[in-house]
Amino acid sequence: MMLDKPLLIAGSWRAPSGSRTGDVVDPATGTVIGKLGFSEAADVDAALEAARKGFVTWRAMTALERSRILHRAAALVRERAEVMAQHMTREQGKPLAEARGEAGTAPEHIEWYAEEGRRAYGRVIPSRIPGARQIVVKEPVGPVAAFSPWNFPLAQLVRKIAGALAAGCSIIAKPPEEAPSACIELAKCFQEAGLPEGVLNILFGVPAEISERLIASPVIRKVSFTGSVPVGKHLGALAGAQAKRATMELGGHAPFIVCDDVDLDAIVKLGVGLKFRNAGQVCASPTRFYVQDAVYDGFRAAFTEAAKAVKVGAGAAEGTQMGPLANARRLDALQDFVADAVQHGARLETGGRRIGNEGFFFEPTVLSDVPDSARIMRDEPFGPVAALVRVGSVDEAIERSNALPFGLAAFAFTRSTRRAAQFADGLESGMVSINHFGLAAAETPFGGIKDSGYGSEGGTEGLEAYLSTKFVSQVGA
């Protein structure tokens, strides 16, 4: 696979102006399957100029015209979903069923924004000044710089592109170098749908080089990043130094609270599904399982059995439930998390090791009785490791859930409406899902608080993130 013309600048697919490339690796085998051309500073500058001009064209079009183009793009993405799913499985490793699910929902995000962009209403304020007309108008914030990660190559990128375009912004996106092909296909769908040139631009390269150049440019008015907390804080500081708007969707360390009044079988099934989905490389993945005393032993036994039964294999193989990790550095990171937890007194119920020596496979892993001193209780493992902890009361579960600086997603399970309300009110988290998994639909806001970031993607909040507010006060001439 030669990814030698991967840059979309001013409406055409181009080779980078230099000769640098990065390897695209199949995580199921560890072999290099493609060479991706990397941008130079001149390419970044060309994209900035294209986005500047593209914004002028795009903002002048009506919301209805923009909506029609987005709807056409959604239809093309739906037609090509299978191709994109195959790309994601080959380059990122997730099971084909998960990749198909991700590609299947991508058009829904575009359609949501296509409609929502037509409803960027302002308002009329009853004025205290006689004869004055006072109105609030929503306007596109301007050209956007967006950085999306490898764990959900399509889902993370599509929200940024569709949100920005629906609001009337142009965008320069830097999708993940590790999994570029589905992202390129996605951008082609927008192009073929009739997007004017320069409205959507795509760059790949050394992330820090591109982000620093884009954020420093006066052309860019908004930054959107999904990725790790340290990188998010760095980019947020760069944006802040320039007084630029930013949305930061960063890491999480989700608690999964199981009360003593629940049906364990159903919750174990849901918990195992959530934990090992995408091999745990999900920002909203549950990591700390706080289980009430009376059901702790039963939960531990059933969860461990279910984890042992998860079928690990190449994403493209029939029946695979969990694929490899996305890259070799995650293998070392996970091995360290497990060793550290055991050293601090946790019990290894199952897993804990790399599988074989080809590709980046890691066993579904369950640790029990994990003390707070273990590193996995503080740092995001971003992998297939569950940490089980015994708790007494609901109050204790909430207090321990809130003890970390993260606040992205939280899950809680109870039959009591009183306890459910306690969780809804008490958990410090951008998203709280009670008695089911209810996150990440196009019409609902997705985002965190505390170190997990600020701003939301999805829902009406996702459009608002790309709009600025103008107040107009006018009296007759």
* Alpha carbon distance 10, 29 (integer Å): 36
Complex with ligand NAD: residue 259 or 282, whichever CB lies closer? 282
Q: Does the protein bind ligand NAD through residue 204 (CB under 6 A)? A: no
* Closest C-alpha among 243, 246, 240, 207 to residue 223: 246
| Distances, alpha carbon 97 to alpha carbons 58, 259, 326, in Å | 36, 31, 17
* Contact flags string 234-273 toward ligand NAD, x per CB under 6 A: -x-------------xxx----------------------
Q: Does the protein bind ligand NAD through residue 211 (CB under 6 A)? A: yes
Q: State whether residue 440 is helix, strand or coil.
A: coil
* Contact flags string 161-190 toward ligand NAD, x per CB under 6 A: ---------------x--------------
Indicate if 98 belongs to the active site: no
* Alpha carbon distance 270, 437 (integer Å): 8
Asked if 315 and 323 touch (Cβ cutoff 8 Å), the reply is: yes
- Residue from 249, 349, 457, 464 carrying the catalytic annotation: 249
Please compute, for residue 229, the number of CA atoms within 13 A of its CA located in the half-sphere on the CB side. Answer: 18
Please compute, for residue 302, the number of CA atoms within 13 A of its CA located in the half-sphere on the CB side. Answer: 16
Residue type, 429: S
Complex with ligand NAD: residue 149 or 168, whichever CB lies closer? 149
Q: Does the protein bind ligand NAD through residue 207 (CB under 6 A)? A: yes
Q: Does the protein bind ligand NAD through residue 352 (CB under 6 A)? A: no
Complex with ligand NAD: residue 251 or 313, whichever CB lies closer? 251
Indicate if 189 belongs to the active site: no
Complex with ligand NAD: residue 211 or 350, whichever CB lies closer? 211
Helix axes 41-60, 207-216, angle to 10 degrees: 50
The DSSP symbol for 261 reads T
Q: Does the protein bind ligand NAD through residue 380 (CB under 6 A)? A: yes
* Alpha carbon distance 361, 363 (integer Å): 7
Phi (first) and psi of residue 381, to 5 degrees = -75, -30
The residues in 279-308 that bind ligand NAD, with binding defined as CB under 6 A, are 283
- Residue from 169, 183, 189, 283 carrying the catalytic annotation: 283
Least distance CB 426 / ligand NAD (angstroms): 24
- Any idea which residues carry the catalytic annotation? 249, 283
Q: What are the residues binding ligand NAD (CB under 6 A)? A: 147, 149-151, 176, 207-208, 211, 226-228, 231, 235, 249-251, 283, 329, 380, 382
